[in-house]
Amino acid sequence: MNLLYERLLLIVLVIILLISAWCMYDNYYVYNQTLDESIRKYKPVAGSADFVENSPITDDMTAWITIDGTNIDYPVMQGTDNMKYLNTDPFGHYSLSGSIFLDSRNSADFSDDYSLIYGHHMEYGKMFGALDDFLDPPYFAQHRTGTLIIGKNAEKTYALDVFAAMRADSRDGAVFDPGKADIKAFIRKNAEICIADRDERIVGLSTCTEGSDNSRIVVFCYIKDSDGQ
């Protein structure tokens, strides 16, 4: 009886060990698929045609977003639907970490009153893993600027002014249906942090959170010309 018990216990321990090893490998694999800093060499520069001629990033790139002081410094892709770039990198290859991408219903030039960008929540602040930090007021106060470069030839550059952050439900059309959303009123009523209320175009940055399939963290920025106009 004791021998049988010991064998069963050994089997259970081996199964637990195998599951743990698989989880560690899975996390390692996903992390190593995440875009690293080397992609920044393809960041477009105004007045230069080198990007279009030499970059392996596909023509689905609509912009490049940077939030100062964070790891957010990536091309923004846009597919014909919101599924393509969940698991496709900017080079068109399958990747579990996917891409940063603009909602397919938005205008590619960010001319809409409200544009919405998605990204996976990755470890160590990669992709949109830094967004949950914006729910901390001191961190928020120190990371309020960024840049949005439009197009592969950097046809237009906008400054970003981070002004609000909140948790939201992915089923809430007020946030996640950019064509119909009354986003300004929703932010005023629901944001955990909101330090400005201006009549300017808005871009929302959305990522998932741990513990709920429907919970999202969304950080909102005003889009303005880099010269402040």
Q: Considering only 19-33, 48-62, 134-148, 165-179, which range has the smallest mean pLDDT?
A: 19-33
Q: What pLDDT, on a 0 to 100 scale, did the predictor assign at position 33?
A: 46
Helix (DSSP H) and strand (DSSP E) numbers for the chain: 5, 9
Give me the chain's average pLDDT, please: 84
Superfamily of chain region 37-225:
Sortase (2.40.260.10)
Q: What is the pTM of this model?
A: 0.83
Q: What pLDDT, on a 0 to 100 scale, did the predictor assign at position 5?
A: 60
Contact assessment for residue 146 and residue 159, using Cβ atoms and an 8 Å cutoff: yes
CA–CA separation, 12 and 10 (whole Å): 5
CA–CA separation, 184 and 201 (whole Å): 10
Segment (H or E) for 19: helix 2-33
Q: What residue spans of 34-123 are helical by DSSP H? A: 50-54
Contact assessment for residue 110 and residue 158, using Cβ atoms and an 8 Å cutoff: yes
Strand partners, 66: 73, 147
Q: Which range has highest mean pLDDT (13-22, 40-49, 163-172)? A: 163-172
- Average pLDDT for 100-115: 96
Q: What pLDDT, on a 0 to 100 scale, did the predictor assign at position 168?
A: 93
Q: Which of 215, 214, 212 is nearest to 166 (CA)?
A: 215
CA–CA separation, 229 and 220 (whole Å): 19
| Domain assignments of the chain as residue spans, ordered by start | 37-225
CA–CA separation, 147 and 25 (whole Å): 35
Is 141 in a helix, a strand, or coil? helix
Q: What pLDDT, on a 0 to 100 scale, did the predictor assign at position 152?
A: 86
CA–CA separation, 149 and 44 (whole Å): 8
